[in-house]
A and B are shown apart, each in its own frame.
Chain A
Amino acid sequence: DTEVTQTPKHLVMGMTNKKSLKCEQHMGHRAMYWYKQKAKKPPELMFVYSYEKLSINESVPSRFSPECPNSSLLNLHLHALQPEDSALYLCASSQVVTVNSPLHFGNGTRLTVT
């Protein structure tokens, strides 16, 4: 079982909907990440939080809004998405955002935008 828990597992939303993806870890990690993975492609980094502060935003459109309420939780708020945003969204955590800190992934949320 993964130690990074993501909910929901599947999500179907219309282009006018607002939804949120949630991620939780209880390993005491202080770095958390959102990745996006399209079919048959590698994961692509979206956001990095270090000690609850946003440290990397990989030029992600504003219709994706991350939030880190505390060191264990990471949310991704979705609004006015496009069909091309359909993908597997992966949350990950590591002890810190530096070397010698392996990345642990959750099982992902499969998002379909209709």
Chain B
Amino acid sequence: GIQVEQSPPDLILQEGANSTLRCNFSDSVNNLQWFHQNPWGQLINLFYIPSGTKQNGRLSATTVATERYSLLYISSSQTTDSGVYFCAVEGYGGSQGNLIFGKGTKLSVKP
């Protein structure tokens, strides 16, 4: 099946700093989503982005499908950005609805 690798596994930032999180995947995808899981366990959908670039406030994401990677940019980080960021993909050959999650990037933003 499709493999999803996220980097870095852990990231510590000072408030106000910018960061880039990466998601590599092993095969072509027709579905790629980024999620943020806060320290209380709530999973929030940030972007649906199988290709192209999207922006939402301080967050933006770019997926280069032909090169099999996606990037999540966080600018002017805030302590509320802390948590785990997951990339999840669905390949063309997989069952519809079966999103495969990466292991996540744990972000800690210090005040």
Q: Which of chain B's residues has its CB closest to A110's CB?
A: B41
Contact of A42 among B30, B31, B86, B90 (CB under 8 A): B86
**B97, CB-defined interface residue at 8 Å:** yes
Q: B92 to nearest A CB, angstroms? A: 10
Contact A105 B42, beta carbon cutoff 8 Å: yes
Stretch at the interface among B58-66, B74-82, B99-107: B99-107
Q: A99 to nearest B CB, angstroms? A: 5
**A43, CB-defined interface residue at 8 Å:** yes
Contact A108/B41 with A97-B97, A99-B31 known, Cβ cut-off 8 Å: yes
Interface size class of B (residues with CB under 8 A): 20 to 34
Contact B103 A99, beta carbon cutoff 8 Å: no
B45: chain A residues within 8 A (beta carbon): 102-105
Q: A59 to nearest B CB, angstroms? A: 12
Contact A105 B103, beta carbon cutoff 8 Å: no
**How far apart sit A56 and B103, CA to CA, in the bound complex (Å)?**
22
Contact A56/B43 with A99-B50, A102-B33, A103-B33 known, Cβ cut-off 8 Å: no
Contact A31/B42 with A99-B31, A102-B48 known, Cβ cut-off 8 Å: no
Contact A43 B101, beta carbon cutoff 8 Å: yes
Given contacts A102-B33, A103-B45, A105-B35, 18 further A-B contacts (CB under 8 A): A2-B42, A42-B102, A45-B98, A55-B97, A56-B95, A56-B98, A94-B97, A97-B96, A99-B50, A100-B48, A101-B48, A102-B45, A103-B33, A103-B88, A105-B42, A105-B43, A107-B42, A108-B43
Q: Which residues of A contact B (CB under 8 A)?
A: 2, 31, 33, 37, 41-45, 48, 50, 55-56, 58, 88, 90, 92, 94, 97-105, 107-108, 110
